[in-house]
Amino acid sequence: NAGVTQTPKFQVLKTGQSMTLQCAQDMNHEYMSWYRQDPGMGLRLIHYSVGAGITDQGEVPNGYNVSRSTTEDFPLRLLSAAPSQTSVYFCASRIPDGSGPNTEAFFGQGTRLTVV
Amino acid sequence: ILNVEQSPQSLHVQEGDSTNFTCSFPSSNFYALHWYRWETAKSPEALFVMTLNGDEKKKGRISATLNTKEGYSYLYIKGSQPEDSATYLCALSWGTGKLIFGQGTTLQVKP
């Protein structure tokens, strides 16, 4: 089992460029989420999905788009990168609340993004 | 969005000391409370998921309790070791897919 796989691990963008961070999981988890990690701020939820075709905004959604066409994949798109989006991004997946005792999140290895 | 508050923000202890952190939240209207351990340059890993008032979970020297009526959870580490140095995160889920994290408590254990 690969678990949750994020690509790329590192990326440098120029202001205004667009890119997609990829996230794939092979555990058949219905729930998937994107977080950003900034110093002193823990993990902040960007967008999340409860299944294919269903997405919703988290705490800090502005500047990011998501879609979920399959259970396995949940890409995060930056349409026009800004320096404020410099951060470490984590993708996570888990089984739905109420479907078992172990609803913990499994995280990818992170993507370190720098916008210059 | 519920605020998930963790205290203290950071903690420095000597090897062998026992320590505890707090996660507090203003409402009992949630599905589960999670605790995660996050080592530098790695990804967060789950320690516990608790759903019921009075839940107690234990893994080795680490244990956690949940009090939904008063709105807090404690994480205890007995006899801290240098390898326990990490950031400890708590998070709440509501059964809606959202999992909201606190800011974390960073623990440094000095040999």
Q: Which two tokens stand for residue A52?
A: 């294919």
Q: What is the mean pLDDT of chain B?
A: 93
pLDDT in tens, A17-55: 999 999 999 999 999 999 999 988 889 999 999 999 999
Q: What is the mean pLDDT of chain A?
A: 95
Q: How far, in Å, CA of A51 to CA of A32, rounded?
A: 8
Contacts of A92 in chain B (CB under 8 A): 99
Q: Does A52 lie at the interface with B, CB-CB under 8 angstroms? A: no
CA distances from A82 to A57, A78, A111, A113, B61 (A): 19, 9, 16, 11, 44
Q: How far, in Å, CA of B51 to CA of B95, rounded?
A: 11
* pLDDT computed for residue B53 by the predictor: 86
Contacts of B106 in chain A (CB under 8 A): none
Residue type, A8: P
pLDDT in tens, B37-69: 999 999 999 999 999 888 999 999 999 999 999
Size of interface A-B (CB pairs under 8 A): 73
Cβ A63 vs Cβ A115: under 8 Å: no
Res. A1 pLDDT band, cuts 50 70 90: low
* pLDDT computed for residue A2 by the predictor: 81
Determine whether the interchain pair A104/B34 forms a contact, defined as Cβ–Cβ distance below 8 Å.
yes
Pick from B6, B31, B43 the residue to mutate for testing the A interface (most A CBs within 10 Å). B43
Report the pLDDT averaged over residues A51-69.
97
Q: Does A43 lie at the interface with B, CB-CB under 8 angstroms? A: yes
Q: Does A49 lie at the interface with B, CB-CB under 8 angstroms? A: yes
Contacts of B79 by beta carbon, 8 Å cutoff, 6+ apart: B16, B17, B18, B61
Determine whether the interchain pair B44/A43 forms a contact, defined as Cβ–Cβ distance below 8 Å.
yes
Q: Does A98 lie at the interface with B, CB-CB under 8 angstroms? A: yes
Q: How far, in Å, CA of A63 to CA of A5, rounded?
A: 23
Closest CA to A64 of A89, A32, A98, A30: A89
A42 vs B32, B97, B102: nearest CB: B102
| Exposure on the CB side of residue B46, measured as CA atoms within 13 A | 21
